[in-house]
């Protein structure tokens, strides 16, 4: 597919609404959303195949007009690339930053063990961005949760952090499309994905809103 033109219709702090044109369908001008990429970090106290204790957040989602239970996630920002040439390291930095801001949990030395489980497009019919899923095994996760700091939330964020066994929250997570994708990635990959990243040489596809 070769895009021949893109017209901005509406710009918001979260996404930009655009109308696109393509050479193979000249009379079709679909409307889509340009967004920065998103990152998610799954922290667990042991390997995912053994029903680990994980960190979850419950927060208000204004589109659904309801509270949802999710793994901590957020948006890749320009600041995540400062001083870093490697795209994969910038995305890992973003995932760690979002996790620690939302939960108040300091990953400390385990930041170096954070690895990628890959990415997916949340809705290729309308969105141009990707959600990148990271994970890390933190054996002393419960202690770090008990000793967590104050969350660093945006003014409009309503976010409660808690820990529970994965299977206790399986259906809560599975009600969220991104949660389903995260569970699928966990099912085929180890939670401690540091070596998984390097052995499989995963390649990032990055998207930034205009």
Question: Per-domain residue ranges for the chain?
Answer: 1-34, 36-200
CATH placement of domain 36-200: 3.90.79.10
Residue 27 has pLDDT above 60, yes or no: yes
130 vs 185: CA distance, rounded Å: 14
| 62 burial via Cβ count (<10 Å: 0-12, 13-18, 19+) | exposed
Range with lowest mean pLDDT among 17-26, 177-186, 196-205: 196-205
Report, as an integer, the average pLDDT of 25-49. Answer: 88
Residue 123 has pLDDT above 60, yes or no: yes
Residue 168 has pLDDT above 70, yes or no: yes
14 vs 149: CA distance, rounded Å: 27
Report, as an integer, the average pLDDT of 20-33. Answer: 87
């Amino acid at each position: 597919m070769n895009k021949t033109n893109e017209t901005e219709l509406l710009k918001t702090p979260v996404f930009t609404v655009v109308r696109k044109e393509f050479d193979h369908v000249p009379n079709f001008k679909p409307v889509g959303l340009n967004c920065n990429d998103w990152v998610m970090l799954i922290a667990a106290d042991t390997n995912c195949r053994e029903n680990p204790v994980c960190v979850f957040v419950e927060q208000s989602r204004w589109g659904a007009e309801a509270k949802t239970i999710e793994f901590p996630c957020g948006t890749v920002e320009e600041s995540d690339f400062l001083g870093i040439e490697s795209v994969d390291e910038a995305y890992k930095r973003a995932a760690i930053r979002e996790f620690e801001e939302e939960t108040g949990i300091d990953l400390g030395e385990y930041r170096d063990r954070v690895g990628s489980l890959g990415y997916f497009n949340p809705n290729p019919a309308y969105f141009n961005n990707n959600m990148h899923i990271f994970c890390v095994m933190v054996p002393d996760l419960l202690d770090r949760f008990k000793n967590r700091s104050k969350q660093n939330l945006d003014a409009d964020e309503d976010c409660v952090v808690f820990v529970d066994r994965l299977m206790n929250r399986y259906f809560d997570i599975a009600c969220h499309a991104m949660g389903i994708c995260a569970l699928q990635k966990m099912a085929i990959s180890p939670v401690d994905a540091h070596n998984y990243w390097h052995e499989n040489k995963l390649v990032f596809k990055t998207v930034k809103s205009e």
